[in-house]
Structure 1
Amino acid sequence: MHRVRPATAADIPAVRTLVLARSAWLEERRMPSWRESADDVAGQAENTDGTMWLLTEETSGRIIGCTTIQQETPPWGWTERELAEPADYLYTTVTDPADRAHRPGTLLALWAVDRAARQGRAWVRRGCMFPGLVRYYETQGFSLIHEVQRTHNHVYLMGRKAEELPDLPVQTQPGADRHSDLPPAAGQRPAARQ
């Protein structure tokens, strides 16, 4: 079992270490890495435009992945109708390559799909710039919706309908969803309001 919790400023060093580990793995395979933006990615732990969520080992609390969720889809590349639909937007998902056997990227994506449904959101969306990531996200149930040429990048915009996934082996840390009215998981009591 894994847990997901919001990141805080105290997590910035651990997130930076995670980003550098993933960067080394990507560079060994001659793929573009996050190395030059490691500090920016880690800084999302205290992001005010979205919430970075951390996937952790249940017993040790060690961070094995992160993703940032924004409750607004970026306006470029989507139709007005799509922008009017309630959706969460995932970006900057990074996972520890040493934990590939647990499929942390898939766990985070499926957790986000379940969370979005429980919050009454219709979709989870994301974008990427590499066809290999499109294929990987398709294994998580995302579909390619649009391709957009930006100034310097070709961007693949993807989406998946939000749905509850009750058998997901990931729990949100009790009281952790401070930005929503997400009901507590079965057997948990709601967090006290301050």
Structure 2
Amino acid sequence: MPRLGALDAASRFRDQYEMRPATRADEELVLELITARLKELDLRGHELALDRASVVDNVGTSEEARDRPVVWLLLNGLDLVGCMALRTSTPDWGWSLRERQDKALTISGLFTHPAYRWERLSRYMVWWAVDHAWHRDDTDGPLWWVRGSTPSARVAEYAREHMGVTVMNAARDAPHAFLMQRRPQALPGLARWFAPAERPGLPARPRKGWDLT
């Protein structure tokens, strides 16, 4: 059973990270994590319209007709340190009609624990999604894109520089959002940071600028 991310630095990196689907039993911890993150952003003066509902309302659920989990959790040992929603579709708002016809995995509601702010966990979650999309076996063919959006120009620029995504301005129906996308790609270097759930690995602190390919 996971717990909310520990606040002491000594607890970090004792295990490799693990991504796993959320279950109904995780609802309370997920809500606590998101609340802590939003409070921390508010204290720092960041007023952002973040997609809280896409995660909170879908913990333990699966996409209809696909039986694929919607919400995924990032664990460091027993500590819950991140969460996000993944859907096999492109939102109606912001993207063009042609883009919405692409086969894509869309990230929404990505939150990380404020105690891990300086570890930049969002980039590892995005890289995991990129690798996950590459390896996913869909009966209707491979995914073409991993997509997401943000209301923050600062976050969009960070994603462009450090996550390898292409950043675009949204369509007129969502003028205050930045759209982001990247091709699915196998990233074997992720094994350095992500241990299989059944076989935790050795401590491995991420190195800045490490080549995942």
The amino acid that maps onto 1:69 is: L
Mark the runs of 5 or more structure 1 residues left unpaired by the alignment: 175-194
1:112 to 129, 140, 143: 129
Structure 1 CA distance, aligned partners of 2:171 and 2:196?
Answer: 34
- The reply to whether residue 86 of structure 1 matches residue 81 of structure 2 is no
The amino acid that maps onto 1:51 is: V
- The reply to whether residue 43 of structure 1 matches residue 57 of structure 2 is yes
Confirm or deny: 8 A CA contact 1:19 1:34 kept in the other structure: no
Higher strand proportion:
1
How much is the aligned-residue C-alpha RMSD, in angstroms?
2.4
Structure 2 CA distance, aligned partners of 1:46 and 1:163?
Answer: 27
2:89 alignment counterpart? 72
1:191 alignment counterpart? none
- The reply to whether residue 15 of structure 1 matches residue 30 of structure 2 is yes
Mark the runs of 5 or more structure 2 residues left unpaired by the alignment: 1-15, 64-68, 137-141, 199-213
What is the count of residue pairs matched by the alignment? 170
Structure 2 CA distance, aligned partners of 1:81 and 1:39?
Answer: 26
Structure 1 residues 34 and 77, CA gap change in structure 2 (3 angstroms)? closer
2:194 to 162, 170, 182: 170
Confirm or deny: 8 A CA contact 1:55 1:108 kept in the other structure: yes
> Bigger relative contact order, structure 1 or 2, given CA contacts below 8 A and separation 6+?
2
2:71 to 52, 74, 84: 52
Corresponding residue SS for 1:154: coil
TM-score scaled by length of structure 1: 0.77
Shift of 1:171: 4.2
Per-residue CA deviations over 1:140-173 (Å, capped at 9, x if unaligned) read 111113422337x622111011101001122464
Structure 1 residues 33 and 145, CA gap change in structure 2 (3 angstroms)? closer
Structure 1 residues 12 and 87, CA gap change in structure 2 (3 angstroms)? same
Structure 2 CA distance, aligned partners of 1:96 and 1:118?
Answer: 27
Per-residue CA deviations over 1:121-148 (Å, capped at 9, x if unaligned) read 2210001112122112212111113422
Percent of counterpart pairs with the same letter? 28
Shift of 1:27: 1.2
